Every structure is written in structure tokens, then in C-alpha cells.
Chains A and B, each alone.
Chain A
């Protein structure tokens, strides 16, 4: 069939005045992430710690039933801000977050750079910030499922299992801490991942960068500490900085004896740098001066 036989009809619909013009970017980003074979396996597994911690909350309210399993002298399952901090801030959760953002975030910008698709986005009535919101929201979606959602569910289930508001009255700020930390860690990882994703057209290099920088910043901190015995070197470790700020948010003792806001400053500086690079790298047309 030749082209001319097919005809072309004008569209008689009306454009929506969308309040969230970036939403299709997010929806497609989430959809494409779930199409990845390994992600389908890994993502449910990443929720296992949340299930275990939720079970812990249940057990904490049924201590009498489970007492036979433990020696009496062992302080067993105290549900307090430290419990939340253990779930949200400790190494295992940060490692899970890194794995998840590698799957959902590494290709977000690098694939667009590789396939020259930025010009397709910016030939639409989208602003640069819509593009960033759309891409960021993909990372936010997955990280909130790992942090904010379980954190709030833990609080709600604790109240449900306890059948009283005593826990809430003891720690009225805890929901805010969960929300605050989730936003903080998600914002940092969003900037971190999008920044690295914008540096290469090859998604594999971006994966190596995301994982490598996170890992080696920690290794360097350990090496420097061994040599100089100075805790300030923890400022070069992304993990240590997140944990410093996380500990402060949950009103816990910081893991290293240095002010927590130094870590916040370091992470903020990384985010600002990432924002500046992103602004420069992401545009509808590549300009070679």
C-alpha cells in the first residue's frame, strides 16, 4: 500500500493544560525499569528487610509469645528511633539503594544522550525543569518505596499492634524524621545518579561510576583513617556522610565524632555541583563552541 492511499486526518481533540507535564516521563521511566529482567528479581528482594523489620515490630508487641526463643537477659526488640535508624540508615539499606538506583537511574539521561533523544523532549512544550522532575521522580518512586513507605508503615503498624498511641506520644517527631530522612537520602541519590548519568553516553560506564564512587569513597576513607587516625577523613565517604546526617535526624549518636553538619555541607555541595553540571549537559541541542 502506498502512502497516499492511507490518508491523514487532523486531530480534533484539545491539548491538556497539564499541571504535571513531566508525569509521562516518570511513568515511562518506571515502566521501562520494570521491564528489566534482573530488576524484577531484585526489587522484591530489596523489600525483604522491610518485611523482616515489620515482623520485628509485630514480635515486639508479642514478646510473651516469643520469649521461649531467647535468654531473658538479652534486651530484645526495642522499637524506638534507633530501630528506625537501623533500618533506614545502616549499610545494608544504603547498599540496597545503590543497587536499585543503578537499575532505575543509570540510563535515565545517558540513554537519552546516546540516542540523541533530548531534542525530541525539548521539541515538545517541556521545560528543562520538567525533564529533570520527570527523571528524578523515577528515582524518587523507587527510593520512597524502600524508605518512606516502610518507615511510615512501621509507625502505623506499631500503633496498630500496640493498640495505643503511647509510641507516638513518646516519639511524636519520628514520622517527621522518617519523612525528612527519606527526602534527604532520596534527593542526594537523585542528584548523584542523574549527575553521573549525564556524564556518559554509555549506561555501563554510569553503573561503574555510581557503584565505584560510592565504594571507593568509603575505601579511601578507611585507608586514610588507618594512616592518619583522623575522623575528618570520613567526610570523603558518601556512606559515612549519609550515616552522619541520618543519625542526627533520628536523634542518635553520630557514628563519627565530627559535627554532622559538615557531612550535610559535603553532600549539599555534591548536589549543587551535580545540579550545575546537569544544567549544562542537558539541553535540546549540543553546542560545540
Chain B
């Protein structure tokens, strides 16, 4: 397993950021989702050794997060969320400098810096000073520095924040390319659910410092049955009876009811209740829940 954490606890003073997080993640691109303050960045920082957990244990690429932080950082790339760079350096010097700090020989770090800058699409401007870069270019540069030492695992913290749609698409394509074809495992922490849906096959949803949900996105979607229903007649009692049967109901603007049913729910119940309440079902379609639905359900918001 490349990421294995067990019962991780961490508090900022009296505020609990992580409360017994356990994960066992291996191949592919993994999405780390959660609302603000869910503990995503804290978890990444603990896995990188920036923060020492109050309790629990973990191994990243089989290195202990408490005692082998240097080894972890040697084989893990990190792309921080914040705008960060070293001023007065051009992109090549910046990237090779960070390669050297990872332990690469000087000349190889320089050679490799050119390669990764080329890969992320900064070849034309690699001799420009970093502070003159646009937001999108800085983001690509952050990605380049996280790749320069050829990591086995990369942590990407909000990799598309502040990008225009074109830039976002390019970065996401790059992430898909890295995770699917380059044998590099990627952990993406993001608020942008479509980004996670596009790039990741596995998702971990954190909420209030605990793992609210995790699994293959496709399987998680299958678990939750969603029906789209349009009714004619008095819907209030119908809806109340559905809720009594542990169904979650959302009403869209165009009058369609999205009904999330509990596991092993018998859909004949819809027709039975409709018959009892003498209302007509004008539209009845089994739909697939989106990542947004999963997220909303996991963190408990409508």
C-alpha cells in the first residue's frame, strides 16, 4: 500500500482537525474531498511530516510518517495550494534548485528541470523570472517542481484553483496523463468535484476530521439508488411517506423529485404509496447519482 494511515488524530489547540482517520490507499488517482476545515490539508501535511500527529500511525510508500519523513519527502512530490516560489530565480533554476534539495546531483537536476518544464508546457518561458509568471504559469511551475525528482507519489493540493477553463482543462489532462500513463500515484485534494470526477477513480470524503465516505467512485455511485420522479396531485403526503421509509428527497426547480433510496429498497413502494395517496406518477426514471450527490450525502448537506 502506498498510503496507509491508521487512527490519525490531530488538533490545532482545542480544535480537532483529524479525529481517527484511517486510510489504506494504493494505485491510481485518489481524490480527497471535503468542505473547508474538513482536515484535507492537515492530513496531507501529516503525511508529509510537516505536522506530527497527536495519535495514530501511518506509512507512506512503506516509510513511517513519524520516523522516516526524509525518505517520504524524497519519493513524494508536493504541490502546495498557496502561491509559492523563490523570487529572483528563473523557472529552470527554481526547478533544478528544488531537485538538488531533493538529493539529485546538480547537473542531473538541471537536465531534469528542462524536461519537466517542457512537459508541463513552460518550455518557452523557462528562462523568465518566476515572479513575472501569470497565475496559470505559476501553477504549472508548482507542478513541475513536484515532478522534478521523479516521485512515486504526488500530493496535489487544489491543483486547479484560480485557473481559467482552458488552463484548468490542460492541468487536468496533465494530471490524468501522470496518473494513468506515468506510473505515478496521485492524491488530489480539491473542492472542485468535477475535477475529482474527471481525474480520479477513487475518492475519500473527509468531514469534520473523520472519513465520511470512501471507495471507487463508480461503486459508490452504484450503492446509492437515485430515482427521478414527477408526480401529479397532492405530493406532500407522498413525500412524507417516502421520508418515513428513509428516502432522501430533493426537489428541482422544474418540479422533478430526486429520491435517494436506502440500500435494498424495493422500488415497488413508490407505486404502492402513489396508489394509496391517489396521485399519478408522470415520470419515473432510475438515475445515477453524481459525485456531488455523494459528497452532499457524506457531509450531510442538501
Instruction: Enumerate chain A interface residues (CB-CB to B < 8 A).
Output: 1-4, 6-11, 13, 15-18, 21, 24-25, 28, 32, 35, 111-112, 114-117, 119-127, 283-285, 287-289
The digit string for B147-191, where 1 denotes a CB below 8 A from any CB of A, is 101100000000000000000001001100110011100000000
Given the contacts A10-B150, A116-B80, A4 and B173 also touching, CB distance less than 8 Å: yes
Are A11 and B74 in contact, with the CB atoms below 8 A?
A: no
Nearest CB in chain A to that of B86: its residue: A117
The digit string for B48-91, where 1 denotes a CB below 8 A from any CB of A, is 11110000000000000000011101101110101111111100
What are the residues of chain B within 8 A of A25 when measuring CB–CB? 101
Are A119 and B88 in contact, with the CB atoms below 8 A?
A: no
B71 is contacted by which of A6, A24, A119, A125 (Cβ under 8 Å)?
Answer: A125
What are the residues of chain A within 8 A of B50 when measuring CB–CB? 119, 122-123, 283-285
**29 residue pairs from A and B, CB less than 8 Å apart:** A2-B170, A2-B173, A3-B119, A6-B118, A6-B121, A8-B119, A8-B177, A10-B183, A13-B105, A13-B108, A24-B101, A24-B106, A116-B82, A117-B85, A119-B50, A119-B80, A120-B98, A122-B48, A122-B73, A123-B50, A123-B76, A123-B80, A124-B73, A125-B69, A125-B74, A127-B70, A284-B48, A284-B50, A287-B51
What are the residues of chain A within 8 A of B263 when measuring CB–CB? none
What are the residues of chain B within 8 A of A8 when measuring CB–CB? 115-116, 119, 147, 177-178, 181-182
In the bound complex, what is the Cα–Cα distance between A122 and B73 (angstroms)? 8
B228 at the interface (CB under 8 A from A): no
> In the complex, what's the smallest C-beta–C-beta distance from B242 to chain A, in angstroms?
45
Given the contacts A9-B115, A119-B84, A120-B80, A16 and B101 also touching, CB distance less than 8 Å: no
> In the complex, what's the smallest C-beta–C-beta distance from A286 to chain B, in angstroms?
9
Are B102 and A15 in contact, with the CB atoms below 8 A?
A: yes
Nearest CB in chain A to that of B100: its residue: A24
> In the complex, what's the smallest C-beta–C-beta distance from B294 to chain A, in angstroms?
29
Instruction: Enumerate chain B interface residues (CB-CB to A < 8 A).
Output: 12-13, 45, 48-51, 69-71, 73-74, 76-78, 80, 82-89, 93, 97-98, 100-106, 108, 112, 115-116, 118-121, 145-147, 149-150, 170, 173-174, 177-178, 181-183
B104 is contacted by which of A16, A35, A115, A285 (Cβ under 8 Å)?
Answer: A16
Nearest CB in chain A to that of B73: its residue: A125
Q: List 8 additional A-B contacts (Cβ < 8 Å) besides A115-B85, A121-B101, A125-B69.
A: A3-B173, A8-B119, A8-B177, A24-B97, A116-B82, A117-B85, A119-B82, A125-B71
What are the residues of chain A within 8 A of B93 when measuring CB–CB? 28
Given the contacts A3-B121, A15-B102, A28-B89, A120 and B84 also touching, CB distance less than 8 Å: yes
Given the contacts A116-B80, A123-B80, A288 and B51 also touching, CB distance less than 8 Å: no
What are the residues of chain B within 8 A of A18 when measuring CB–CB? 103
The list of the 7 closest CB pairs from A to B, nearest first, reads A116-B84, A15-B103, A11-B150, A284-B50, A125-B70, A123-B78, A289-B13
Interface centre among A4, A11, A16, A114 (most CB of B within 10 A): A11
Are B73 and A288 in contact, with the CB atoms below 8 A?
A: no
B149 is contacted by which of A4, A7, A11, A112 (Cβ under 8 Å)?
Answer: A11
> In the complex, what's the smallest C-beta–C-beta distance from B142 to chain A, in angstroms?
9
Are B86 and A115 in contact, with the CB atoms below 8 A?
A: yes
In the bound complex, what is the Cα–Cα distance between A114 and B73 (angstroms)? 23
What are the residues of chain A within 8 A of B115 when measuring CB–CB? 8-9
> In the complex, what's the smallest C-beta–C-beta distance from B123 to chain A, in angstroms?
8
In the bound complex, what is the Cα–Cα distance between A51 and B145 (angstroms)? 44
In the bound complex, what is the Cα–Cα distance between A35 and B90 (angstroms)? 13
What are the residues of chain B within 8 A of A16 when measuring CB–CB? 103-105
Nearest CB in chain A to that of B77: its residue: A123
What are the residues of chain A within 8 A of B147 when measuring CB–CB? 8
A289 is contacted by which of B12, B82, B121, B174 (Cβ under 8 Å)?
Answer: B12
> In the complex, what's the smallest C-beta–C-beta distance from B166 to chain A, in angstroms?
11
Are A4 and B82 in contact, with the CB atoms below 8 A?
A: no
Nearest CB in chain A to that of B178: its residue: A8
Are B103 and A35 in contact, with the CB atoms below 8 A?
A: no
What are the residues of chain A within 8 A of B149 when measuring CB–CB? 11, 15
Are A6 and B108 in contact, with the CB atoms below 8 A?
A: no
Nearest CB in chain B to that of A119: its residue: B80
Are A7 and B85 in contact, with the CB atoms below 8 A?
A: no
Are B101 and A115 in contact, with the CB atoms below 8 A?
A: no
What are the residues of chain B within 8 A of A7 when measuring CB–CB? 119
Nearest CB in chain B to that of A15: its residue: B103
Nearest CB in chain A to that of B101: its residue: A124
Nearest CB in chain B to that of A11: its residue: B150
